[in-house]
Chains A and B, each alone.
Chain A
Amino acid sequence: MADFEQTIVDGFTVGTGLLAPTESDSLLMASIQAFPDNLIYDPGDIQRLLDNNRWKLDEDKYSEFVRNQEQDGQCNCSANASGVQISALNQGFPVTPLSASFLYQLLTHSDTGTTLPSTFQALGDIGISPIEVQVGGMTKRLPNTIYSTRTPIRGELLEQAKVEAKRFRAVNLLKVPVDDFGKFKIVIATMLARKIPIVWAWHVGKNGTRIDGNGYMIVEFGKQGNHANLLVSAKWVGGSDIVHPVDMNSWGPTRNPIYGPPGPSWGRRGFAFATMEQVFSCAQVHQPYGIISINVDSNDSFYNDVLQAV
């Protein structure tokens, strides 16, 4: 039985699984560099980078990565695994499906959920294993979930997954400053215009499993947040909000079965808009961060070709 609150979507029970940060988490987050002022773009540049409704193209491209965390509390690990994949894609790297359950197993002893900073740290220190791993000359697939399905990753498979995980580590993570709402908005807009995925938190209330008629998610305000997701793109709206981010959830529907069963259908194939007020609603407790870059994969033959050619 999961230790966190579960929610029903279209008859499916879905997991959330975000915990409030501990004191050590807060200390860790305090030591991380915030997105610097000199990297902030002018609104005009943001608008140009998001023109022609780029969010539609982004949703199409990223819909392949939509996950279904099923009943496990691995929302945060799902958001981070997808974030690393999207960061890889936007660095021109080949995209390898990564395992949220691997990260969740390393960070927990039971289905308790995780905190943003703990996952943040694991991204840099451990990395994330591919879902498919070679063991003894055979390709083996890590389970989509481990607790609700009682399928922990064990033995040689776990050992090899730890080795493979080093190929997919975040090397540059920057947190979003949350002291000032105006600065928060322009940093979020800059990061999304630059295609930097952002891990963030919101509170799933009784209506959180639906979106409104305009394609916006329904966030419960005044709560500390119980669910982590990934912001992946944005729609230019101008005014003081500048943009409205596009959220990618982890409740399906999956297009690729490697990311779990199809599951319930949330939002526009797993995506919905968020207002800046919604994105800011839990940011003081769970400080969002952007996955700026990941490391090169030493198994990528592209580099050998280039170095040999040169």
Chain B
Amino acid sequence: MPPSISIRNRMQSGSPVVQAPQPVQPPSGQQTGLKLLAVAILVFAAAIYFRPSYSAPGPGPKPTPDQHDDKREDAKPSPSPSSKKFEGKAVFLAPRSPMPPNAAKMLADAAAYRDKVGKDKFDYRNPDTKEDKSDLVIALVNKAQALGKSPPCVLWAPSVGKETAVDWPQSFEAFMNEVTK
């Protein structure tokens, strides 16, 4: 269960302070002193209860308010968002025929994505690895092979980071996920 939902449920049921069992009413005469004692105990208990959350931060991500709940001892920092942006150049290395429907859809999605974000963020080429015998295509295929893949595959040169070659993906979304994971 995500921390935020856990907190929400807890807030709905009341805080531990509110839920703490009320002390049995003492006989009249000692009431004021016992009240003060009860308040002191509750304040002390609350201070003990909340102390770990606000201890001096060590190395690593600072906990967010949402991470502070009953299960905080077991809670692990949520993975930080990937620093890899999907920006770069892709060469889709495959024959133009045959081309299965999902590959045609993927290339159409790649074109639509390029139109959306602009060629400076994402650009691609789809040479015909079967029929185009030019030196350039041979060099591209050789590069992919040097990176451990053979057509059908994708050569990916990100704007930032190291270049890779990946197997031909099932969809454009799968390709984006693959190269940014």
Q: Within 8 Å CB of B107, what residues of A?
A: 90, 92
Binds B, one of A6-14, A250-258, A298-306: A298-306
Q: Tell me whether B140 and A307 are in contact (CB under 8 A).
A: yes
Instruction: Check if A292 is an interface residue, CB within 8 A of chain B.
Output: yes
Q: Within 8 Å CB of B111, what residues of A?
A: 90, 92
Q: Within 8 Å CB of A162, what residues of B?
A: none
Main secondary structure of the interface of B (DSSP, over half): mixed
Q: Within 8 Å CB of B97, what residues of A?
A: 36, 39, 172, 174, 292-293
Q: Tell me whether A309 and B163 are in contact (CB under 8 A).
A: yes
Instruction: Check if A159 is an interface residue, CB within 8 A of chain B.
Output: no
Instruction: Check if B153 is an interface residue, CB within 8 A of chain A.
Output: no
Q: Tell me whether A293 and B157 are in contact (CB under 8 A).
A: no
Instruction: Check if A171 is an interface residue, CB within 8 A of chain B.
Output: yes
Q: Tell me whether A292 and B89 are in contact (CB under 8 A).
A: no
| B176 → chain A closest CB, angstroms | 16
Mind listing 20 A-B residue pairs with CB under 8 Å?
A: A36-B97, A39-B98, A41-B101, A42-B101, A92-B123, A92-B124, A92-B126, A171-B132, A171-B133, A172-B96, A193-B104, A195-B104, A292-B131, A293-B97, A295-B132, A303-B136, A306-B89, A307-B139, A309-B157, A310-B157
The 3 A-B pairs with the shortest beta carbon distances in the complex, nearest first, are A293-B128, A45-B101, A309-B157
> Which residues in A have some Cβ–Cβ distance to B below 8 Å?
36, 38-39, 41-42, 45, 48-49, 90-93, 171-172, 174, 193-195, 292-293, 295-296, 298, 300, 302-303, 305-307, 309-310
> Which residues in B have some Cβ–Cβ distance to A below 8 Å?
89, 91-92, 96-99, 101, 104-105, 107-108, 110-111, 114, 123-128, 130-134, 136-137, 139-140, 143, 146-147, 155, 157, 163
A49-B105, A92-B123, A292-B96 are known contacts; what are 9 more A-B pairs with Cβ within 8 Å?
A38-B98, A48-B101, A92-B125, A172-B96, A296-B127, A302-B125, A306-B163, A307-B139, A307-B143
